[in-house]
Every structure is written in structure tokens, then in C-alpha cells.
Amino acid sequence: MLPILSLIVLIPILFSAVTFFTKTKEQARISALVGTLITLVLTMYMYFSFDSTSAAMQFEEAANWIPSLGITYHLGVDGVSMPLILLNAIVIPLLIIYTWNDVRAAPNRFYALILAMQGAVIGVFVSLDFFLFYVFWELTLVPLFFMVNIWGGANKKHAAIKFFIYTHVASLVMLLGIFGLYYNAWSLNGVPNMDMAYLIGQFQFLESEIARDAIFLALLFGFIVKTPVVPFHSWLPDAYSEAPTAGSVLFILLKIGGYGLFRVMLPMLPFTATPSLMITIMGALGAISIIYGAFLALAQKDLKRMIAYSSISHMGYVTLGAAGLVSLSISGAMFQQFSHGLIMSIMFMSCGVIQTKTGTSIINNLGGLAQKMPKLTVIMVLGFMASLGLPGLTGFIAEFLVLTFSFINMPIYVIIALLAIVITAAYHLWALQRAMFGTFNEKLGDIVDISSYQAFSMGVIALLVVYFGWHPSPVLDMMITNSEHIVSLMAVMGV
């Protein structure tokens, strides 16, 4: 059988190398588009032959890699990772089309980095060996570091290094947790093994309660910094807003933090020494992120920073839903990851257009853009509505599931989160009103609407937001299958 998972990781990386050595912009963007389209075709093939009623790993590949350390090359997908792979495979070719006519220095490097990023992110989602997982996890840092550093905004130097070091520290703390799991299983069974499912399964046999909690918290720290969750979010606003538009979208597609919660943290949760404390920590951090992110978004003067903070607020639903521990709240959290990736891509793309056409993203300096940019306005309003949770769009389904079903286990946090909904609606509508509607700000000069390339890629994403908003089951079914599986594992332990 075709080693399809290896291919969807290796093809982007291979094309990244090819793109790097292209000479002209024309060659670079075509090479990048071809690479991502091949990945998309393979992913679609995989998606359509995927069995969404099974919670088991599918398309598994395994081979020995470093036998003396028990490290294997083990890949597989299930309902947790499949939608996220799909998200990356769909949005990245559209991102390349979006940047088709952009003028920038060194386009070959730019597209090579996008492809490298795609390979690394998909690599994280398909890895079933902790060593491999960590390799891809760290690799995602490098393209983004360059992306912000080379094509970023005025404050790029600070933003890039802050992001790089902050998240690197978090990864290293996570690595300590992985070491803990690894040696625990090694001393129990006498053989080294880095397989994720195996190590997570052996976690419960670790005798020391302090060690179990310490390992859990170390891993949790690694994941929630990446998610990110308040109070470990401070790298995000700088990085998201200083990055070029493509970089911001890549940041958005980097759903590895939330993925780690489902893949690693939830199966381990029942076996910590103090599960209820851990649930409280996760739930509280989720609720705080939702409301704190919303308040900060309300206070922003810059449209891009506002979107960045709104992203923190939205990712809070992922943490909250995961801590909800009901299969539908977990599915809602997973769906939020998928939906958030689509919606935020539209929002950052819109903001990117505004920034390039008007030269500013300060909300007060804009005004009445709808008159000059009708096409952009339609798509952008749809994106904003989806983001604030309008029924019929994906954001609503995710947030509805999370809030409704988390209420069973943690009503207080849900009530706190509900307060944020009003604020969320306020900052979205207020920003739209000031930037897009009202009288046109004549100082902005003559402005043209978005190009057809940009309209195409943003339009496709917008259609997906509508489609999955009405008909979420193509991705939601597999999420539910897997979250039921996770919950049933926990029920065995009586949590």
C-alpha cells in the first residue's frame, strides 16, 4: 500500500528544497503550489478512504529507527488528527494563491518556508512516536522564526526572538515530561520504547504521585504555551501581529498545542495523583483565556492585534472543552480547532489586504472601506460573523458544543465564559463598523478592491465556513468517535 502519511510529510519538505533553489518568483510560486496541491490530493484521498466510525489508528506505518533507544518511525491518523491535517492541506495552497501577486524580497525562500512549515505541522499530527513528535514539534519553530524575522513588521526582531525562545522553553519543559514517561516505562519493563500510546499507557504504573503530577504538568505546560492559554500567551500578540499575513495564517494553522491536549493530556489525566485539581487548572485557564482575551481584544487599536487577542479568546474554548470531559464537549473543542483555523485565516487575510492597500491597520485611521472594497467587505463580514459565533457558521457549532456540554462538569467556568460572548460580539462589530462602514476616510487616497487571486482563496475558505457551519458531520463525526473513545477510557478508571 502507498505510504501516504510519509508522503504528505515528505512532499512538502521535498518541494520546500526545490522551491528554495528556484531562481524567479514565477518558478517559486508554481513549485510551491504544485507541492501543496499534491499534498492536498493525497490528503483528500486519505480523507475519503478514512473510516470515521473507528477510533483506531489508520494508515499506520511503522519501522525501526533507533533501536538502541527504542525509537521507531511510527505514523498514523485517527479522528483527532485527520481534521487538522485536512485543515492544513486545504488552507496552505489557498494561502499560496492568496500571496500570488505579492511583491516581496526573496520569494523562493518565502515559499520554501511555507512548505517546510506544512511538512513539519503535518509531521506533528501524524507522529505516534514521542521522539518523532518532538522533532517535528521543534521544527515548526524554525520556519516561523525566519518568516517573522525577514518579512515581519516594524518590531519584528523583538517579536521573533520572543516567540522563538518562549515556545522553545515550553518545548524543553515538555521534553522533560517526555523523559519522565520514557524512563518510567524503561525501568518498569526493562526495554526502552518511545511509542506514544505505550508510554501514556505505562504512566499509571508510576509509583510516585509527585512524579506523576510533575510529568503531567510539564507536558501540560508545553502544550498550553503553544495553544496558547493565558497567562502564557504573551508571545502571541507580538508574533501574530508582526508576522507577514502568510506568517499569521501559518501561526493559526499551528494547532499542535490543542492537539497535544487531546492526544496526550486527556488519556493521562485520570491517572494523575490529583485529577480533579488538574481538571480545575485546565478549566480555569480556559475560562480565563476566553474572557481575558476578549477584554484585551476590545481594547486594541490595531486591527491585527485585535484579531490576535481574539484568537487567544477562541483558543480558550479548546482548553475549556477538553477539560469538560464529556464526549461532546471534547468534540466541540476539537471542532473549535478546525473552525478557528478557517475563520482566523479569513480574518488575517482580510487584515493583510487592508494593511497592504491602505498602509495601516490602526482601526481609527480606517473608515468606510466598504465603499471602495465591496468584495473584501462581504468575505470579511462573513469571517467576523463566524468568529463572533453567528449560528449557521462553524464558530457557533464549536462554541455551542463546548459551552453546553462543559456545563455538566464545570458550570461556573461556563458562566464566566458566557459573559465573554457579549464582549466578543462587541469588539467584532465595533471594529467592523469603524473600519469598514461609515464615511470613507479620504486621507487613505485611492483604494482598489482585492485581486481575483485573493478573492478566490478567501472565498473558498468562506464557503467552507458556511458549509461546515450547516453540515459539520464530515469532520465532526470522526471527532465524536474519538472523543467517545477517550471518555470511555476514562470511565474505566471511574473519573
Partner 1 sequence: MVNLMLLAPEITILVTGLIVLLAGLFLSAQSKKIVGYIAILGCVVAMLLTISSFGTTAVMFSNSLSIDALSQFFKIVFLTVTTLVCIASVKYTDGNDHADEYYVLVLFATIGMMMVASANDLMVLFVAFELASLATYGLAGFEKKNPASIEASMKYFIIGSLSAALLLLGIGYVYGATGTTNIEGIAQNIDLLLNSPMGILSLVLLIAGFGFKIALVPFHMWAPDTYQGAPSLVSALLAAGSKKMGIIAAFKVFIGALIALQADWQIAFAILAVLTMTYGNIVALSQTSVKRMLAYSSLAQAGYITMAFVVMTPMALTGGILYALSHGFMKAGAFIATAAVVYMVTSENKDILNADHLDNFKGLGRRMPITALSMTVFVFALSGIPPTAGYMSKFILFSSTIQSGLVWLAVIAILNSALSLYYYARVVRYMYAKPTDGDRVSEPLPYVIALLLAVAGVLVIGIWPEPFVSMAMEAASVLI
Which one among 47, 98, 111, 164 touches partner 1, defined by CB under 8 A?
Answer: 164
Binding-site string for partner 1 from residue 115 to residue 154, where x marks contact by CB under 8 A and - marks none: ----------------x--xx--xx-xx--xx--xx----
The number of residues in the chain equals: 495
Site for partner 1 in 171-230 (CB under 8 A): 172-173, 175-176, 179-180, 182-183, 186-187, 214
Binding-site string for partner 1 from residue 61 to residue 100, where x marks contact by CB under 8 A and - marks none: ----xxxxx-------------------------------
Evaluated on CA atoms 164, 170, 172, 174, the torsion sign reads: negative
Site for partner 1 in 405-464 (CB under 8 A): none
Dihedral angle of Cα 208, 213, 215, 218, to the nearest 10 degrees: -150
Site for partner 1 in 268-287 (CB under 8 A): none
Coil, strand or helix at 18:
helix
Smallest distance, Å, CB 159 to partner 1?
Answer: 12
Nearer CB in complex with partner 1: 66/415: 66
Smallest distance, Å, CB 302 to partner 1?
Answer: 22
Which one among 2, 165, 188, 299 touches partner 1, defined by CB under 8 A?
Answer: 165
Rounded-to-integer distance, Cα 431 and Cα 302, Å = 10
Nearer CB in complex with partner 1: 239/432: 239
| Contact present, 33 and 18 (Cβ < 8 Å) | no
Q: Which stretch binds partner 1 (CB under 8 A): 96-104, 165-173, 330-338, 446-454?
A: 165-173
Nearer CB in complex with partner 1: 260/383: 260
Measuring CA to CA, which residue among 124, 426, 396, 399 is closest to residue 286?
A: 399
Q: Look up residue 454 and give its three cell numbers.
A: 485573493
| Burial of 142: CB neighbours in 10 Å, binned 0-12, 13-18, 19+ | middle
Evaluated on CA atoms 185, 191, 195, 198, the torsion sign reads: negative
Nearer CB in complex with partner 1: 158/434: 158
Rounded-to-integer distance, Cα 84 and Cα 259, Å = 8
Nearer CB in complex with partner 1: 186/400: 186
Q: Look up residue 41 and give its three cell numbers.
A: 490530493
Site for partner 1 in 49-68 (CB under 8 A): 65-68
Residue 14, Cα to own-chain centre: how many angstroms?
Answer: 23
Nearer CB in complex with partner 1: 8/218: 218
Q: Look up residue 299 and give its three cell numbers.
A: 481594547
Rounded-to-integer distance, Cα 298 and Cα 89, Å = 32
Q: Please name the residue that has the C-alpha cell 474554548.
A: 317
Q: Which stretch binds partner 1 (CB under 8 A): 95-103, 167-175, 279-287, 458-466?
A: 167-175
Nearer CB in complex with partner 1: 254/328: 254
Smallest distance, Å, CB 295 to partner 1?
Answer: 30
Dihedral angle of Cα 269, 275, 277, 283, to the nearest 10 degrees: 50
Nearer CB in complex with partner 1: 93/180: 180
Consecutive H or E run containing 74: strand 71-77
> What is the binding site for partner 1 (CB under 8 A)?
65-69, 131, 134-135, 138-139, 141-142, 145-146, 149-150, 156-157, 160-161, 164-165, 168-169, 172-173, 175-176, 179-180, 182-183, 186-187, 214
